[in-house]
Amino acid sequence: MLRDVTCTLPPGSRVLVLGRSGSGKTLLSKALAGLVAPSSGQVLWNGEDVAGMSSEVKRARQAAFGMVFQTDALFDSMTVRHNVLLPLERRRVPREEAEARADEVLRAVGLAEAANTLPERLSGGMRKRAGIARALAARPSVLLADEPFAGLDPGTARQVARVLLEVAGSGTLIVVAPDVPPELTLARWLYLRDGLLAYDGPPNPEVETMADEALV
């Protein structure tokens, strides 16, 4: 449960949401993307209350969000390329344009040669990158990555961190994680503790120490 969490994220923000398990990190990311509705308070997109939007308007606005899930959530019966194409097909993007976008993002994450491979044949790091490619195919202005480094060895985590920074471009990047590789430089930290926003500001060694102690 989140309580009294107030923050404003301007376009182009680079944000790390950290805290121990159960502190509300994933819930905050889902609320920001309009996937869960707050029981009190408001989530505003460009100053407009999400709760007041019609279902059609809300779905259209959610196209601005790309989600990278903790589990890659890929369909093992589909090739990597088809997994990336799926959200574009659901958005009824013309076939030729959808295929061009899919090929573009697969090249961006270094998976062009694995496009016709089934996810079950990929390493953990490659599956993570495939999940990032799928999120990017819709060209979101906000990229939300929930625990993108979970289960990865340090070398693969650093690789995924570099990909996230490179492909986010000028858009907003929000990473939810207890800690991140040093390659992922995020200018703003939101530290959650028991559902409360305990810190909102630049990277801070004291906050990092608190987060580490919370994991013990």
- Could you tell me the residue ranges of all domains in the chain? 76-139
| pLDDT per residue as tens digits for the range 88-117 | 998 889 999 999 999 999 998 889 999 999
Task: Give the per-residue pLDDT at 208.
Answer: 64
Cβ atoms within 10 Å of 120's Cβ, excluding its own: 9
pTM of the shown model = 0.84
Length of the chain: 216
Q: Lowest mean pLDDT: which of 6-15, 38-47, 76-85, 159-168? A: 159-168
Identify the band that residue 216 occupies on the pLDDT scale cut at 50, 70 and 90. very low
